[in-house]
Amino acid sequence: MYSFYFTIEIALGLAWVVTWNLAAFWRAKATAQAPRGSYRLLIVFAALGLFMVFNNLPTFRFPKLWSVGPVLGWSMIALTAAGIAFMWWARFHLGKLWSGGVEVKHGHRVVDTGPYAWTRHPIYTGLILSAFAAAALRATPWAFLGATLVALGFALKARVEERFLEKEIGGYDVYRKRVPMIVPLLKFQGR
């Protein structure tokens, strides 16, 4: 039964990837960029993590941690959909200021409304939530290790982004003190 839920999970993820990449054409030109080398390895962590979540790696005698029934299955699909919705809300809210890299656009400013009033990196928040929901459906240690790598990769990329934005955008340090980095309502993170 878990494969049914995981198939839906994969379909949601693929729909997100396709639409997200198509929307990449809707952005302004960058005026300043952080060196890609400063965060390339962090993206490799996240990509490796996603690979571990979505592939059938050998369990090495690890049985499934739990069975996936309808309540857990549909709950994790709902969490995945919520994570994707949160990412899209953030993306629409940023508009042409969005970037897949660490860069500043023409007319860049601190955006502190919508999902950015809850967390400074709502796109990463949604990705991490979706990765852990997928791992819960897989119910394997490998999947949870993968989700942890996703979280670590994006948390570290967020730190690179924050240092860059503090140098490039006035007022970012005030925003940083007021709004949590990745987990909404968790005030002590990322300072």
Please give the Cα distance from 23 to 153 (Å, whole number): 23
Number of domains in the chain: 1
185 occurs within a structural domain: no
183 occurs within a structural domain: no
Q: Which residue segment(s) compose the domain that 132 sits in?
A: 2-178
81 occurs within a structural domain: yes
**Dihedral angle at the C-alpha atoms of 52, 57, 63, 65, nearest 10 degrees?**
10
168 occurs within a structural domain: yes
Task: Give the H or E element holding residue 31.
Answer: strand 30-33
Q: Where is pLDDT greater, at 51 or 148?
A: 148
pLDDT in tens, 111-123: 999 999 999 999 9
190 occurs within a structural domain: no
191 occurs within a structural domain: no
pTM given for the model: 0.89
Percent of the chain with pLDDT over 90: 55
Q: What is the pLDDT of residue 64?
A: 82
78 occurs within a structural domain: yes
CATH code assigned at 145: 1.20.120.1630
184 occurs within a structural domain: no
Q: Where is pLDDT greater, at 191 or 155?
A: 155
Return mean pLDDT, the chain. Answer: 88
Please give the Cα distance from 146 to 135 (Å, whole number): 8
Please give the Cα distance from 22 to 165 (Å, whole number): 26
Type of residue numbered 48: L
Please give the Cα distance from 3 to 6 (Å, whole number): 5
Do the strands 103-105 and 30-33 form a parallel or antiparallel pair, or are they unpaired?
antiparallel
Please give the Cα distance from 34 to 141 (Å, whole number): 35
pLDDT in tens, 62-120: 678 888 899 999 999 999 999 999 999 999 999 999 988 899 998 889 999 999 999 99
